[in-house]
Amino acid sequence: MKALVIRGGHLIDPAAGIDAPKDILLKEGRVAEVAAPGKLKVTNGHNGFEADTIDATGLVLAPGLIDIHVHLREPGQGYKETIATGTAAAAAGGFTSVAAMPNTKPVNDSPEITRWMQAPEREAAVRVFPIAAATRGSKGEALNDYAALKSAGAVAITDDGAPILKDGTMREALAAAARVGLSVIQHAEDTRLTQGCSMNLGPASFKLGLRGMPPEAESSLVERDIRLVAELRDARAHLHVAHTSTASAVAAVRQARRNGLRVTCEVAPHHFLLTEEHVGFYNTHAKMNPPLRSAADRDAMIEAILDGVVDAIATDHAPHATHEKEVEFENAPNGITGLETALGLALRWLHKEWKMPLGRVLSLMSAQPAALLGLKNRGTLTAGSFADVVIFDSAAEWVYHASSGKSKSRNTPFEGWTMQGKVRWTISEGRIAYVAGNA
């Protein structure tokens, strides 16, 4: 692999506390050197290796983004997305690492599938970190062998869309995961309260004649899980709450943190931007689980991001084929794509509109998710780290059209939205994974 020199850019590396013009040298998949402009020790051709150069004048360079919640649909549902297309979409969105949920077909509950997902034959454009199922077949009964899953490459465990309702099973999962140093990610939904529901419970669901999921279905399970973490305090159990969407759930996380518990949470862009009103007239591209909530809940997500309770922005990228979404709202599958819109939305709204410093936005999308999942030498560009870099024009505005995206699916509520921050290059472990204009 040829070395790569990136010159002229402005490096923002929140984990290293750098926000300054820097040149960097990437070599053998790692960051070899970070230097003041023009001060890299390498001179092309003279240090015994050849290097390509990227001119990043006027651009921001930052650690490659990390999305800890994506559905890549393989194995089993390649018509929605494959690991190759999903990671190509990730690269186009500036992501260099994605953590893949286990609700594949079959469920990823084994070291074999975990390894299969990471195999070179999948032709991933960026690094895939499988998250393995917490229980056999995600049925909420027998726990999987977390040590074996971890050594196969799993970075966390979850039953995602099939949340663990039984107290005993969840307690055992938290304890067993803690013993091998993994977190348990919970999709917090008491499914006993959400049967037949297709949106948030409130005035909008009444008006549309749709059965609604009460916010308590989320917050009650978060509160239950936090109680279990408190019981397991000595075991250092780590609970991560996926796609937090309600004010009450985020309040519970906030309190748990004050109490010193290892509880983290993520928020998806659609939950800090959209409300149940965006369901409009049965737009199935505004149907996901957890659903779009009330304006008060949405505002609570923004507030929690701005004041630091939220640890990560994660997309819950959930591709579905067009025909699957062109059905009655109640019958449509949950989920929207997100990898190619997350950075553009975060910069347009969190940074530009709500004045969150760029470094903090980037930290929520790289340094903090890396720390949360324990991804070593990622989420930063200090010398010796993986050469995962995103280079983008932070001021550029552009309009998103799903048809020009890399994902196999187009189920997005953000069609035609103005985005800010155009990704120009994405580099994954020293290889160029995406170049703008080279569609």
How much of the chain is helix, strand and coil, in % rounded to 5?
35, 25, 40
User: Per CB under 8 A, does 254 bind another protein?
Assistant: no
| Pairing relationship of beta strands 431-435 and 418-428 according to DSSP bridges | antiparallel
Residue of 307, 403, 404, 439 interacting with another protein (CB under 8 A): 307
Q: How far apart are CA 251 and CA 254, in angstroms?
A: 5
Contact 106, 75 (CB under 8 A): yes
Helix, strand, or coil (residue 303)? helix
274 part of the interface to another protein, by CB under 8 A? yes
Query: What SS3 state is found at 45?
Result: coil
Find, among 324, 321, 305, 407, the residue nearest to 364 by Cα.
Answer: 305
316 catalytically annotated: yes
Give the shortest CB-320-to-another protein separation in angstroms. 14
**H/E element holding 174?**
helix 167-179
Q: How far apart are CA 347 and CA 276, in angstroms?
A: 23
Is 281 one of the binding residues for another protein (CB under 8 A)? yes
Q: Name which of 145 and 415 has its Cβ closer to another protein.
A: 415
Options 243, 298, 378, 424; binder of another protein; rule CB under 8 A: 298
Q: Taking CB under 8 A as the rule, does residue 258 contact another protein?
A: no
Residues 325-364, one symbol each (x = binds another protein by CB under 8 A, - = not), give -xxxxxx-----------------x---xx----------
Which CB, 41 or 207, lies closer to another protein?
A: 207
Binding residues among 370-409 for another protein as defined by CB under 8 A? none
Site string for another protein, 164-203 (x = CB under 8 A): -------------------------------xx-----xx
Binding residue for another protein (CB under 8 A) from 211, 224, 227, 431?
211
> Closer CB to another protein, residue 304 or residue 370?
304
- Residue 17 within binding range of another protein, rule CB under 8 A: no
Q: How many residues line the site for another protein (CB under 8 A)?
A: 37
Q: Which of 381, 313, 356 is nearest to 15 (CA)?
A: 381
Compute the C-alpha angle 365/67/373, nearest 5°.
Answer: 90
- Is the Cβ of residue 50 or residue 307 nearer to another protein in the bound state? 307
User: Residue 258, Cβ neighbours under 10 Å: how many?
Assistant: 8
Query: What is the token pair recorded at 159?
Result: 């039953």
Site for another protein in 416-435 (CB under 8 A): 417
* Cα–Cα distance for residue pair 168/174, rounded to 1 Å: 10
Q: Note the Cα 424 to chain centre separation in Å.
A: 20
Choose one: 76-84, 172-180, 205-213, 429-437; the region binding another protein (CB under 8 A): 205-213
Which entry of 13, 159, 297, 316 is annotated as an active-site residue?
A: 316
Minimum Å gap between C-beta 282 and another protein is 3
Residues 439, 423: Cα–Cα separation, whole Å: 13
In 319-421, which ranges are continuous DSSP H helix? 322-325, 342-345, 358-364, 367-373
The catalytic site residues sit at 316
Residues near another protein (CB under 8 A) are 195-196, 202-203, 206-211, 273-275, 277-278, 280-283, 295, 298-299, 302-303, 306-307, 323, 326-331, 349, 353-354, 417
